[in-house]
Chain A
Amino acid sequence: MHIVVCLKQVPDSAQIRVHPVTNTIMRQGVPTIINPYDLFALEEAMRLRDLIGGEVTVLTMGPPMAEDSLRKALTFGADRAVLLTDRFFAGSDTLATSFALASALTKIGQEFGVPSIVFTGKQTIDGDTAQVGPGIAKRLGLNQLTYVARIVELDRDANKIIVERRAEGGVQVLETRLPVLITMLEGVNEIRRGSLESAYRAASAKIVTWNAAAAGITDLTKCGLKGSPTIVKKVFAPTPRAEKAHQVPTDGLAPEALADAVIAEIFSRQPSVESDLVRFSAGQ
């Protein structure tokens, strides 16, 4: 079975700082990582492959340096990596991204076998939209399974898959037919380390690199800025709150006395909390 995992290289947002003066992002020295959510998808794909055989291809659209992320995925144990890179893709929003990725997936199907499952992460930590997965599914006509917490059953003869999906207010158990697009929920597995052998293979592996033309994209108006209906009007730092916290004096107070002081402060600021609490405790 052929499985493709879409993963994105993102700046490690934990290390991003906003320049205190110019209010712009300081990218200097900010390391890039594989979008953490995508690793759950990758591990799930490899788990399925190990179970039933086949191949896992990882696909990313990004600048040439996104190759690092693909090599890392190969180190973890993916079998093949495809990098989609072209200046025409710059500035893509989710609609344009899903167009480019869907085109590359079609091409991957022609070159390496049609995928039965396409995985994406739940969302990215930079774009943070959770839209690209559904976008790809729609464009390729794949059955869409978002927020999947567990793959319960995969019946290849019947082309059938059963999953548990995190829905609003509960868990849905869904059955559908392959091919599908799955966006994987976080925390459902743990990415493996990869053996020394796979790390070595990854270091010297050839990454399949396609530009727009090689990926079979002829209509460039659907790519990048041109193909993006949304427009970023401005980027700005949140307005800092003028006031800092009012500090409850603590000097030398025993916890009990301090607790009383804190409660008094809370009630004086927010009298409704007191009445709510009284109602709550009376109802007990």
Chain B
Amino acid sequence: MIEERFDAIVVGAGPSGNAAAYTMAKAGLKVLQLERGEYPGSKNVQGAILYADALEKIIPDFREDAPLERHIIEQRLWTMDEKSYVGMHYRSEDFNEERPNRYTILRAQFDKWFSSKVREAGAILLCETTVTELIRDGAGKVTGVRTDRDGGTALADIVILGEGVNGLVGQRSGLRPELQPDSVALAVKEMHFLPREVIESRFNLKGNEGVVIEAMGTITDGMTGTGFLYTNQESVSVGIGCIVSDFAESGKTAYGLLEAFKNHPSIKPLLENSECKEYAAHLIPEGGYHSIPELYGDGWLVVGDAGQFVNAVHREGSNLAMTTGRIAGETVIALKHRGAAMSKANLAAYKRTLDETFVMKDLKKYKRIPALLHRNKQLFGLYPRLLTAAAQTWFRVDGVDKRSKENAILRSFRKGRTLSGLIGDAFKLARAWR
């Protein structure tokens, strides 16, 4: 057992745990952070988007030394069938601003950097240390954690769980239910190395500019999910993910989907001659608002993916993780300064503050989306096909007059799905978005 008693113990050194630990350590609290990986980021899927705003609120000058890959100046949204895609691209010189809004990062490096800041702020980080359970006193209040190391207990006024999507500590301790296969996605991802110049010419970039492609359609073979491709400095991250229960039902493998995605005629040329360096798989909580578990109790708080804080539609996760981590930290600091107990009643302030931020507001706004996407598979097969076929009909110049083309397109939509079905889908989507 560690003799010293801590103000707070943070489980996990991902974005959420780091945000919480940094915030508290910076304010002078005595923080112990425990991470099961060999080093922060070692267990994290490489290649991701960093949203500057959430990090700026924690480390305002992070741009000075954080390992950032490229800032994103162009977003491509693709609807794909087997041979084609219909795309919406948005590119703007505005994104070449002084303090860019979004960056691609490599998680392993980024997490390491973030963690070094946490330690500079004064927190003590122990890696290769897995928290196995929470310690409670007679009244059920959490007073510390047990780890898998010899003599492995440590005590604190509060334990913050930032253990990620499949965090077993919280589940085992009965703080939250087990993950449901229909509210979590399995994503697989590869890094493909390419020389800088090749990336820049292939994606029409200069300097540190970057592109993001997000794709949906037949690439997920009728399952609920999306594919993506990000440009890093000297590599491209490419991946695809679908809801776990869909994989179970269809018997398809994530790896198989990724292979097919990479071989899609629109993706393949982008990866040509690259060297694949690593393959990784990870879960993403996508249940949204309805699957958010209890977030606080006597002596504990939950932050990040462990609290299901992911906005699947906008692919936002790390920013929610950092924001919830920061607010959890601030809540603890405020109670500490008041000399107040880390009781359930006092910690309710955490949830109240969150309710007023984009985190809860966005998740609430999209609360119907996950179920809708899950139940309406036409979005991942039929519609993309109709759309690309329509585009082809429209763009092919073959002597058919435009009015007939319009009619043919309309007919194809109606044949594919009844008019009421079409209208219903549009309505459902609009309502879910509201």
Contacts and interface: CB of A to CB of B under 8 A. Distances in A.
Contacts of A247: none
Nearest to A197: B151
B393 interface: no
Given A203-B125, A204-B124, A196 B234 contact: no
Interface string B174-203: 000000000000000000010100100000
A166 B150 CA distance: 34
A20 B150 contact: no
B193 A19 contact: yes
Contacts, number: 61
Interface stretch (A21-29, A126-134, A172-180): A21-29
Interface secondary structure of B, over-half rule: loop
A17 B277 contact: yes
B106 interface: yes
B124 A203 contact: yes
Interface residues of A, number: 19
B195 A196 contact: no
A26 B198 CA distance: 16
> Which range holds the interface residue count of chain B?
20 to 34
B234 A200 contact: no
Contacts of B125: 203
B116 to A, nearest CB: 10
Interface string B105-116: 010110000000
Contacts of A204: 124
A31 interface: yes
A197 B1 contact: yes
Interface string B97-129: 000000000101100000000000000111011
Given A17-B193, A31-B39, A200-B2, A195 B126 contact: no
A156 interface: no
A75 to B, nearest CB: 8
Contacts of A28: 234
A19 B198 CA distance: 13
B166 interface: no
Interface in A1-43: 17, 19-22, 26, 28-29, 31
B149 interface: yes
B193 A26 contact: yes
A193 interface: yes
B150 A196 contact: yes
B378 interface: no
A36 B38 CA distance: 15
A21 B126 CA distance: 39
A91 interface: no
Given A29-B108, A196-B150, A199-B129, 12 more contacts: A20-B274, A26-B193, A31-B38, A31-B39, A31-B108, A195-B150, A196-B153, A197-B151, A199-B126, A199-B128, A200-B2, A200-B32
10 contacts: A20-B275, A21-B195, A29-B46, A193-B128, A193-B149, A195-B152, A196-B1, A197-B2, A199-B126, A199-B128
